[in-house]
Amino acid sequence: MNTIVVSKQISHSPLIELHGVTKVYGTGGAAMHALRGIDLRIDQGEFVAVMGPSGSGKSTCMNILGCLDTPASGAYLFKGVDVGKLSRDQRALLRRNYLGFVFQGYNLLNRTSALENVELPLIYRGTPAVERRERALKALEAVGPKGWKSHTPGELSGGQQQRVAIARAIVTDPKVLLADELTGNLDSAHSREIMELLTSFNSERSITIVMVTHEPDMAAYAGRIIRFLDGVIDSESG
């Protein structure tokens, strides 16, 4: 089996580094330069918000950080490991063992209970059934009131579904949580609840959070805000 060894790092070493990363879709006159030489460092325990208009490159950057896409040139280092030199299977292992994902659309299985949805990443890991159930229950308890475990997504509100999605993302104890417009389908009250939940995981569990958002109110929860424009990092604050 392919393996990936991630070395231990001192607290001030970067967790994520991008060096001159570019991404081009298409060729010739139809080529679209999504990223034009991105340099970025994210340390363990940071909470980073990524902003920018549609087509600015922020989602492409997130896909590269999540090992869902690869750069055309440049380097992506995760805890010192050059991700570009990993095989497809090794990148899949990195995603499975170190990364958690939360999306705007929740991406829950409709005919599956909340508890079973949260168990899914552990099934892919081959975690034994008893341990899997215990960890999924703890993850659900961490995101909100009890009583949802047997409910299907159709029986839950949008805010409750997003909490289940967050439980699914943290059940593997990821180093990094990648969140893409996770409050986009929620009203302001539920959005604040979700952001407070993320903030608690960041501060109490030291989970590094990288969050794409169009909403300045949500970005304000982050410790650093990175703004993309036309495939480059236009500014940083925080």
Instruction: Work out the burial of residue 111: count CB atoms within 10 Å of its CB; fewer than 13 is exposed, 13-18 middle, 19 or more buried.
Output: exposed
Is the model's pLDDT at 52 over the cut of 70? Answer: yes
Q: Give me the percent of the chain exceeding a pLDDT of 70.
A: 94
Contacts of residue 12, Cβ cutoff 8 Å, sequence gap at least 6: 43
Say which DSSP state 68 is in.
S
Mean pLDDT (the chain, rounded): 90
CA dihedral 42, 208, 65, 13 (to 10 degrees): 40
Instruction: Output the six-digit token pair for 177.
Output: 């949580």
Q: What's the average model confidence in pLDDT over 99-111?
A: 89
Question: Residue 82 pLDDT > 80, yes or no?
Answer: yes
pLDDT attached to residue 9: 38
Domain parsing of the chain, residue ranges: 14-237
* pLDDT at position 12 over 90: no
Q: Would the pLDDT of 2 be above 70?
A: no
**pLDDT band at residue 234 using 50, 70 and 90 as cut-offs:** very high
Question: What span, in angstroms and rounded, lies between the C-alpha atoms of 65 and 216?
Answer: 22
In eight-state DSSP terms, residue 53 is: -
Report the CATH fold assignment for 14-237. Answer: Rossmann fold (3.40.50)
Nearest-angstrom CA–CA distance, 94 and 82: 12
For residue 170, pLDDT beyond 50: yes
Please give the Cα distance from 208 to 75 (Å, whole number): 20
Strands 99-103 and 176-180: parallel
On the question of pLDDT at 6 being above 60, the answer is no
Three-point CA angle 198, 202, 206, nearest 5°: 150
DSSP 200-211: HHHHHH--EEEE
Beta-sheet strands, E only, within the chain:
14-25, 32-43, 47-51, 73-78, 81-82, 99-103, 176-180, 208-212, 224-229, 232-237
Of 16-20, 33-37, 68-72, 182-186, give the lowest mean pLDDT range: 182-186
Q: DSSP code of 149? A: T
Percent of the chain with pLDDT over 90: 79
If we measure between CA atoms, which residue out of 50, 38, 48, 87 comes closest to residue 67?
87
Residue 138 near residue 127, CB atoms below 8 Å: no
Nearest C-alpha neighbor of 72 from the set 29, 35, 118, 43: 35
Exposed/middle/buried for residue 110 (C-beta within 10 Å: 0-12, 13-18, 19+): exposed
Task: Quote the CA–CA distance of 171 and 157 in Å, as a whole number.
Answer: 21
